[in-house]
């Protein structure tokens, strides 16, 4: 997939050895970490252009340094593609955030004041750390969770809104694998004059293909990372209804960030151009087919899944009825050249560095067009490992991924 050269030559042996080891791991481990994916090769090429050398400050069309016309044009192109992909012609877009967390912080700085009330998804139900840790330093944060059948608890959300009249409600998750019904949450927000932020970091591609309900038209703000379903670099994007444009521009610069990273802006523009040129509906079909295969195999072998399935690339495995912890499972699979991450679950009594669950993500398998016979074997191996019914197999996953030559 990637043709990379030794750019260090014979210098800096210690750094070169680390790079070589990372390349080796990418060629010998199947990466099923929930947030992992492979960027378009053209995106990585864009990241390494001399655009990185240009210094600047300020917003598009209002830079404080000269020679920024090209980067302004790139932002315009990228934003036009964004509005087209998500069918939101009236939304303001900004592709400068360095990460998804900073995209969220930009929203917070744009609209929140000290002691404002904010409602977010509980971390053990699947909420993301960027939705509450920073906010707790200056706002009052209240958590909503899930119902007994593991759906988002809309009754609890309305109760919290009625009690606290929050300025902001955040709908989005890091390890909740079902689709989110933004229209229902929006209707609650409307009753209490609450702004709505939709963080679609794990679901952007499903929104773009209309497999999930779109937050656009409902959410006042939409944020997402660019390295997961959209196959870009590690970065962020923030969008909003038009009336918040000036608030967000000021929050991006000079409040949260300084100089924009021009090479990252170029890489994001290339990512969006790639997405606009491929059949993203087919890509999503492939993702969901693999997810469904994994969930079917795991559940048929008696393994409990959080939310009893998935609407995305994420599969949350509940190990509380198994004989191993999340950390044990992660380690056992690592020995078999499979990468997953331990993850806490609702009402999880184990420490966060141990956990009672694992999070599996299958984006990489769809990206490399792995054969069905191969990813079925991987799902079977994971299930047998969880159930304690296999001898450690160090060859199967390694041999499969090596044939795809991720790094050449």
What pLDDT digit, counting tens, does each position of 285-295 carry? 999 999 999 99
Q: How far apart are CA 82 and CA 64, in angstroms?
A: 26
Give the closest residue to 399 by CA, choosing from 379, 384, 377. Answer: 377
Identify the pLDDT of residue 4.
Answer: 62
**Residue 106: pLDDT band with limits 50, 70, 90:** very high
Q: How far apart are CA 204 and CA 355, in angstroms?
A: 27
Spatial CB neighbours of 15, under 8 Å, sequence gap ≥ 6: 8
Domain extents in the chain: 45-277, 280-402
- CATH level 2 (architecture), domain 45-277: 3-Layer(aba) Sandwich (3.40)
By mean pLDDT, which of 157-171, 246-260, 275-289, 363-377 is the weakest?
Answer: 246-260
**Residue 6: pLDDT band with limits 50, 70, 90:** low
Q: How far apart are CA 119 and CA 308, in angstroms?
A: 25
Higher pLDDT, 144 or 407: 144
Give the closest residue to 171 by CA, choosing from 125, 207, 208, 219. Answer: 219
Give the closest residue to 105 by CA, choosing from 82, 141, 131. Answer: 131
Identify the pLDDT of residue 309.
Answer: 96
Q: Is residue 128 within 8 Å of residue 268, measured between CB atoms? A: no
Two tokens, residue 126: 């699947």
**Residue 311: pLDDT band with limits 50, 70, 90:** very high
Identify the pLDDT of residue 8.
Answer: 64
pLDDT for residue 95 is more than 80: yes
**Residue 9: pLDDT band with limits 50, 70, 90:** low
By mean pLDDT, which of 123-127, 266-270, 350-354 is the weakest?
Answer: 123-127
Identify the pLDDT of residue 7.
Answer: 62
Give the closest residue to 345 by CA, choosing from 334, 363, 368, 329. Answer: 329
Tell me which fold the domain 280-402 belongs to.
3.90.1150
**Residue 158: pLDDT band with limits 50, 70, 90:** very high
Identify the pLDDT of residue 70.
Answer: 87
pLDDT for residue 101 is more than 80: yes
Q: How far apart are CA 222 and CA 201, in angstroms?
A: 9
Which residues are 245's β-sheet partners? none
pLDDT for residue 131 is more than 70: yes
CB atoms within 10 A of CB 117: 19
Q: Scan for tokens 């669950």, then name that residue.
A: 357
Q: How far apart are CA 382 and CA 338, in angstroms?
A: 9
Q: What is the DSSP letter of 9?
A: T
* Model pLDDT for residues 377-400, shown as the tens digit of each residue: 999 999 999 999 878 899 999 999
pLDDT for residue 124 is more than 70: yes
Q: How far apart are CA 94 and CA 385, in angstroms?
A: 44
Which residues are 91's β-sheet partners? 241
pLDDT for residue 52 is more than 80: no
Q: How far apart are CA 195 and CA 186, in angstroms?
A: 9
Q: Is residue 171 within 8 Å of residue 197, measured between CB atoms? A: yes
By mean pLDDT, which of 59-63, 141-145, 278-282 is the weakest?
Answer: 59-63
Phi, psi of 222 (to 5 degrees): -135, 130
Give the residue-averaged pLDDT of 114-131.
93
């Amino acid at each position: 997939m990637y043709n990379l050269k030794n750019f260090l030559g014979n210098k800096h042996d210690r750094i070169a050895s680390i790079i070589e080891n990372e390349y080796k791991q990418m060629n010998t481990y199947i990466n099923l970490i929930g947030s992992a994916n492979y960027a378009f090769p053209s995106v990585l090429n864009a990241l390494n252009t001399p655009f990185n050398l240009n210094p600047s400050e300020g917003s598009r069309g209002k830079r404080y340094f000269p020679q920024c016309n090209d980067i302004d044009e790139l932002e315009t192109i990228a934003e036009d593609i964004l509005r087209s992909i998500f069918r939101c012609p009236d939304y303001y877009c900004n592709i400068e955030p360095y990460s998804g967390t900073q995209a969220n912080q930009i929203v917070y700085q744009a609209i929140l004041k000290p002691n404002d009330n904010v409602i977010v998804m509980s971390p053990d139900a699947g909420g993301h750390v960027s939705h509450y840790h920073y906010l707790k330093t200056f706002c009052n944060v209240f958590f909503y969770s899930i119902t007994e059948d593991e759906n988002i608890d809309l009754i609890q959300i309305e109760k919290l809104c009625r009690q606290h009249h929050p300025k902001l409600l955040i709908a989005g998750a890091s390890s909740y694998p079902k689709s989110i019904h933004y229209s229902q949450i929006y209707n609650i927000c409307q009753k209490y004059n609450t702004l709505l932020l939709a963080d679609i970091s794990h679901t952007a591609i499903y929104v773009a293909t209309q497999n999930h309900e779109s937050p656009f038209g409902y959410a006042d703000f939409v944020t997402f990372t660019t390295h997961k379903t959209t196959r870009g670099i590690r970065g962020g994007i923030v969008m909003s209804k038009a009336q918040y444009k000036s608030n967000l521009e000021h929050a991006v610069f000079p409040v949260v960030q300084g100089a924009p990273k021009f090479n990252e802006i170029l890489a994001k523009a290339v990512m969006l151009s790639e997405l606009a040129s491929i059949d993203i509906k087919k890509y999503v079909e492939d993702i969901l087919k693999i997810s469904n295969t994994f969930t079917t195999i795991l559940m048929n072998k008696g393994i409990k899944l959080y939310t009893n399935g998935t609407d995305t690339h994420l599969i949350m495995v509940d190990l509380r009825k198994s004989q191993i912890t999340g950390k044990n499972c992660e380690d056992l699979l690592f020995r078999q050249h499979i990468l997953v991450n331990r993850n806490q679950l609702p009402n999880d009594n184990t420490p966060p560095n141990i956990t009672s669950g694992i999070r599996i993500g299958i984006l990489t398998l769809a990206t490399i067009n792995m054969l069905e016979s191969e990813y079925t074997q991987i799902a079977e191996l994971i299930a047998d490992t969880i159930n304690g019914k296999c001898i450690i197999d160090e060859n199967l996953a390694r041999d499969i991924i090596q044939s795809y030559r991720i790094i050449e």
